[in-house]
Amino acid sequence: MSPMVEKKKTSRYSPEFRERAVRLLDEHRSDYPSLSAACREIGGKLGCSGDSLHDWWKQARRDAGAQPGPTTAETARIKALEREVRELRQANEILKKASAYFAQAELDRLCGRPFKRNTS
> pLDDT per residue over 69-87, tens digit each?
999 999 999 999 999 999 9
Residue 115 has pLDDT above 70, yes or no: no
Q: How far is CA 72 from CA 56, 58, 68, in A?
A: 11, 11, 12
Mean pLDDT of 10-31: 95
Residue 1 has pLDDT above 50, yes or no: no
Q: How far is CA 74 from CA 22, 36, 65, in A?
A: 20, 27, 12
The whole-model pTM stands at 0.67
Query: How many angstroms separate the CA atoms of 32 and 36, rounded?
Result: 9
State the pLDDT confidence band at 110, using cuts at 50, 70 and 90: confident
> pLDDT per residue over 33-47, tens digit each?
999 999 999 999 999
